[in-house]
Structure 1
Amino acid sequence: MRLPKRLMLAAGLGALAARRVLKPSYDLGGKSVLISGGSRGLGLALAHEFTARGARVMLLARDPNELARAAAGLRAEGGTVHTVVGDVTVTADLLRAVEETARVYGGLDVLAHVAGVIQVGPLENMTEADFREIMEVNAFAVLRLTRVALPLLRAARGRVLIVSSVGGKVAVPHLAPYTFSKFAVTGLGQALRAELAREGVSVTTVLPSLMRTGSARYARVKGQQRKEYALFATLDNFPLVSLDADKAARRIINALVRGEAEAMIGGPALLLRYAQALAPQLTADLMALTNRLLPGPSTSNRGMPGASVETALTRENPIKRVAEKAWNER
């Protein structure tokens, strides 16, 4: 006898709810956590949340000054934190970071991949080198660091957290290389989840929408740079579109401790995912229309950091200013 579709849907939702309620959460108390890109932005917000839940963190980043500031802030809150300077595109640095975590904390329980770069601008101004560069940081670094850390994660029956993006489910105009890399790392997260489960290692991939982390200032901007940056910086800090970094960090770690395979973080991310799943043609048409409204390409393929193309308008943007003030005062 075939069950009605509504009954089957209700049964499926009931099973999902039961799994979330009955499956024990992962206790972070005393766990050791290595966070790539942990010196600022979302990585630092996650570090604050991990330490608040009793975890001990190791922050990996390239800038020693940023690492020192981040560690000082975490220690002021009573967190246990150490740092290691390294580049996620250098395998020797990844190996050293894992070895340092094991030396300091006696092992590794959680590996959090947060380090990433973003490029903003028309496809016409993006070169093949841009695509290759972003893949090294946003995708291959995740693969390499996971492989280096696997012996320790197997021993601890640990967990892997991969921070992708809603851009890993829906292609967004003027973010072609970024979307390219995030689709790749989302697929990698699914593959790792399937293959590492039998070894006791759980993998969670999270796909956030825009977050108020100050990332626009570090983005590589191409095309009509001032227009591109002004639009990106405003959206990146607009409350109805972007999510507060602290709230995002809590939701991300909640997904990790529940052992979820994938989690969309933020309302816009959920809306875009469901729109893509239910109406892919309509979503594609809307993205094409959006692209028509964005600034056109320029004659130069030169990229500049967002901070270097700020104008009086973007500096005085009240939405952006309030968001950055809140983040700096945390």
Structure 2
Amino acid sequence: MRLPKRLLLAAGIGALAARRTWQAPYELRGRSVLITGGSRGLGLAMARELAAQGAALTLMARHQDALDHAAAELRARGARVQTVAGDVTVQADVDRAVQEAVRAHGGLDVLISNAGIIQAGPLANMTEADFREIMEINAFATLRLTRAALPQLRERRGRILIVASVGSKFAVPHLGPYSVSKFAVAGLGQALRTELAREGVSVTTVHPGLMQTGSARQVTVKGQYEKEYALFATLDNLPVVSMDAPSAARRILKALVRGDADATIGGPATIMRLAQALAPQLTADLMALTNRMLPAPTLSQQSVRGAEVETAMTRQNPLKQRAEKQFNELDR
């Protein structure tokens, strides 16, 4: 007797769901993990959580002094840590980071693509060069890293964690290039998940909302500098709207351990993602209305770093001050 195709399809879906429900969690203890952007912010928060779970760490970032500070703290917690100073847009640096992880820890089990930049300001003040720069760092670097790490990840049936953003689900006003880059990396995560599964490599893409990582200082600002930075730095450290970095790091790593294809991190991010899915027209209209209330563009295309346009209001924010110290965001 031939079974109906719909019954066969339902049985197949049920088998996949059962397999996912009953499969053993991915144990992080003893795993070799490479984290880009690992010297500060969310990368450092994840490194601390991974160290607590017994993982061996390789941290990659651009500045050796920040890496040394992060590594010293993690080693004091008993972690095994290797550092690599390099740029994720440079293939030789990416290759060297993978090689160092293998040399120091005997292989590579987990790749965490976390390094990224944010550009804040009106679309009218953004240039094509701004879009190209952020795409190279936020999107193409993930592809570059994945290709460099794949031989090791295939051999050890490893995992890839891609840090996207809730900004990959809807475009945020005055974060145009950032949203475009995160849409791209979310699509890359889906493509990698689909095609690497047959090779035993699991890919998880996470979409966190605002987090108190102290990273506002590193944002590139255009337009009315002080107003743009004050708005970003305030929202980034606003209770309820933003979540504390250790909680975000734990939730992100739980998604990795479960093997989730896609995970939204934080209540506000989940609400916004649902709003976009259920009422895309209304969400678009609300974003357009929000944009009308934001600072107007200027004639200049000059950019500054957030730390250069601190005001008394942003300096005195206690949550911001605490996060900057806690996550190695202050200049050294």
Which TM-score applies when normalising by structure 2? 0.92
2:199 aligned partner: 199
**Corresponding residue SS for 1:135:** helix
Corresponding residue number in structure 1 for 2:259: 259
Tell me the residue number matched to 1:250: 250
Aligned equivalents of 1:224, 1:149: Cα separation in 2: 41
Give CA deviations for 1:203-228 in whole Å, capped at 9, x if unaligned: 00000000001111000000001000
What amino acid does structure 2 have at the position aligned with 1:26?
A: Y
Gaps of 5+ in 1: 1-10
Name the aligned partner's letter for residue 301 of structure 1.
Answer: Q
Asked whether 1:164 is paired with 2:164, we answer: yes
Distance 1:16 1:244, change over 3 A: farther
User: Is the counterpart of residue 302 in structure 1 residue 302 in structure 2?
Assistant: yes
Give 1:176's aligned residue.
176
Q: Distance in 2 between matches of 1:98 and 1:278?
A: 41
Quote the offset at 1:319 in angstroms.
Answer: 4.2
Report the equivalent of 1:65. Answer: 65
Q: Give the CA RMSD over aligned residues.
A: 1.9
Conserved 8 A contact 1:212-1:242? yes
In 1: Cα distance, 2:205 partner to 2:60 partner: 19
**1:1-330 alignment, distance < 5 Å:** 21-324=21-324, 327=327
Q: TM-score, normalised by structure 1?
A: 0.93
How far residue 17 of structure 1 moved from its aligned partner, in angstroms, is 8.2
Query: In the alignment, is the contact (CA less than 8 A) between 1:208 and 1:264 conserved in 2?
Result: yes
SS class of match (2:173) = coil
Q: Output one character per residue of 1:270-320: Cα deviation in whole Å (capped at 9) or x when no partner.
A: 011110110000000000000001101111111100000111221123443
1: CA distance, partners of 2:317 / 2:245: 19
Identity value in percent: 69
Q: What is the Cα deviation at residue 23 of structure 1? A: 2.4
Work out whether residues 168 and 182 of structure 1, in 8 Å CA contact, stay in contact via their aligned partners in 2. Answer: yes
Segments of 5+ residues of structure 2 without an aligned counterpart are 1-10
Deviation of 1:15 after TM superposition, in Å, equals 8.9
Take 2:276 and 2:16, find their aligned partners in 1: how far apart are those partners? 22
How far the C-alpha of 1:328 sits from its partner, in A, is 6.2
Deviation at 1:230, TM superposition (A): 0.4
What's the offset of the Cα at 1:150? Answer: 0.3
SS in 1 for 2:143: helix
Q: How far does residue 254 in structure 1 lie from its aligned partner after superposition?
A: 0.1
The answer for the alignment partner of 2:8 in structure 1 is none
